[in-house]
Amino acid sequence: MIAPKAQTFPKPNGTGSKNPTAKIAMVPDAVLSQDKIRERAYELYESRGREPGQDEQDWLRAEQEIRKRKP
């Protein structure tokens, strides 16, 4: 039997990117967008009288509205 090769991973030394904060800066926008979509979807749910069963439609509508607002 042949022994499996050991996996090697790059060491985190901070030299892997020209701008290491670029990836970090993108995360808050994504989180904020998800939060905005969630809030708008809940508003839509409440405006329908809190009837269950249309959560996916509310989410998709909220997502469309939020993305339309983004520049």
Is the residue at 19 inside a domain? no
pLDDT at 3 (0 to 100): 58
Is the residue at 13 inside a domain? no
pLDDT at 32 (0 to 100): 77
Q: Which domain holds residue 55?
A: 32-69
Q: Tell me the whole-structure pTM to 2 decimals.
A: 0.57
Is the residue at 41 inside a domain? yes
pLDDT at 53 (0 to 100): 96
Q: What are phi and psi of 6, to 5 degrees?
A: -75, 135
Is the residue at 22 inside a domain? no
Express each pLDDT in 13-64 by its tens digit. 655 556 555 555 555 677 778 999 999 999 999 999 999 999 999 999 999 9
d(CA 11, CA 33): 32
Can you say whether residue 8 is alpha, beta or left, with left for phi > 0 and alpha for psi between -120 and 50 degrees? beta
